[in-house]
Structure 1
């Protein structure tokens, strides 16, 4: 993708040994150049090395800096969503997933993992796997999920159990066995500009903005034991294109969830 053509890793200006070692580790894992900071500002490093983006291994935080802004791991609305669920409010995604303790979930469009975290918090010992095509986003998500201090032991437990895989869901699904995961979830909405979410807009140039296809849905139905769920904008024509006629969502919500149950519920001709 355009945002990943040429990128490197460095440290913060006031770096220490740990930051240096972390930057070297990232360089090795992602197979990208490590560029010593040497008191240079980021703009100088962009120009001198003809880079489109730089991962900065700072003290306690990994940040990807590029023309779209600064991308780093954070929890977004996760804490609020979980609090509202605990207080008895319906979370429309969880309702659409029909998530039960022990259910396994495959999030095919993970991003920074916000939906995966909410699912992981609520499915008990069930497995949660997140797929993210972007090397940058998947790496930041993996680092954040494994090390971010959320100040809540139960939330951190949920974050730590999520398995992050950098892969195109079309490729991944074809390699999976029939009926091998309970619920499969798609949120292909990065193709649409997010007017009210600066975090999503920062990620957008790095993400897969291709349209979800019927072929991918068919593969997901083969792999899923219970259901496939697709998030879309309210009244989206994508549901019709995908052959989905069972729609769920809040009365005043800007998004809806298309549901296809294994065995035919929700349609797909």
Structure 2
């Protein structure tokens, strides 16, 4: 019997409430649910019962694969949000010119780090929508955001499991103020094991000129793209990098909407 690509289970010390929550997670994402016995290990399941597992426990939903595991956490987004709330600049907010009430579409949600910053920048009157092609990453992010205490100064983040290009095609023109892409870097530097596991599930296809044009149609002001300083991905798309710190490994670029709306 072939292992299923992705399934949902609980921690080894789950109570009935956690088992019910795990069944609900499985139902929300259309994934099989696997009952786990007390103290039964995860490792023997991987590659046998499932290629990867979403584990519901006290710490939320964690994605387990043969190479390791990771879960949702605000991480650097928490620090960026604190600095933004204190009046300090944020590169994403500056390049995108985000302001209260804006609607932002994040086409590469990942673990929602930039979306969390955007949700504070646009405030409770704004809107942030995140699209993620990987069901595993989408589930981890969405389930994590369900329990994230965003506070009264941020809007909720809507999460959709979809291909970004296809999702853009289905949107009306000028329906978001800013459209954002953060494609997975093609030449990663040495990273922690958890990030290497994340890379296994992330979408690695580069941003195409066709998707960029759809984004320009959907945007009212800007399409913002994040890239790696050591790559020429932005220039291949005709996007000039914005000035950033020479110590940063990340570069940012933006292109105007096809029909900018004041």
Question: Normalising to structure 1: TM-score of the pair?
Answer: 0.87
After superposition, give the CA deviation of every residue in 1:211-252 in whole Å (9 maximum; x if it has no partner). 111111111001101010100112531122101125242343
Kindly report which structure 2 residues correspond to 1:112-191, keeping only aligned pairs within 5 A, or say none.
112-124=111-123, 125-148=125-148, 150=149, 153-154=151-152, 158=154, 161-191=156-186
Which structure: greater helix fraction? 1
Quick one: distance in 1 between partners of 2:10 and 2:26? 11
Aligned partner of 2:226 in structure 1 is 231
The aligned runs of 1:26-37 (5 Å cut-off) are 26-37=25-36
Q: Superposed, which structure 2 residues align to 1:206-225 within 5 Å?
A: 206-225=201-220
> SS of the counterpart of 2:69?
strand
- Which of these residues, 245, 252, 256, is aligned with residue 261 of structure 1? 256
Aligned to 2:42: 42
Equivalents in 2 of 1:215, 1:201: separation in Å? 29
2:235 corresponding residue in structure 1: 240
Deviation at 1:146, TM superposition (A): 1.4
**Cα deviation digits, residues 141-195 of structure 1 (max 9, x gap):** 11111113x4x634xx63x611000111010011111111100010003433243
Deviation of the 1:259 alpha carbon: 1.0
- Give the ranges of 4+ consecutive aligned residues of structure 1 lying more than 6 Å apart after TM superposition: none
Give 5+ residue unaligned stretches, structure 2: none
Of 232, 247, 253, the match for 1:252: 247
Change (3 A) 1:198 1:229: farther
Counterpart CA distance in 2 for 1:61 and 1:262 is 38
Corresponding residue number in structure 1 for 2:52: 53
How many aligned positions are there?
A: 256
Deviations 1:37-71 (A, max 9, x none): 1232112222542x211111112411111123112
Indicate if the aligned counterparts of 2:43 and 2:66 stay in contact, CA closer than 8 A.
no
After TM superposition, the structure 1 stretch with the greater mean CA deviation from structure 2, 232-241 or 99-108, is 232-241
Q: Distance in 2 between matches of 1:17 and 1:219?
A: 46
Moved more, 54-63 or 118-127: 54-63
Contact 1:68–1:205 (CA under 8 A) maintained in structure 2: no
How far apart, CA to CA, are the structure 1 residues paired with 2:243 and 2:180?
14
- 1:111 and 1:79 map into 2 onto residues whose CA distance is 16
Question: Following the alignment from structure 1 to structure 2, what is the Cα–Cα distance between the partners of residues 251 and 190?
Answer: 18
TM-score w.r.t. length of structure 2: 0.89
SS in 2 for 1:111: coil
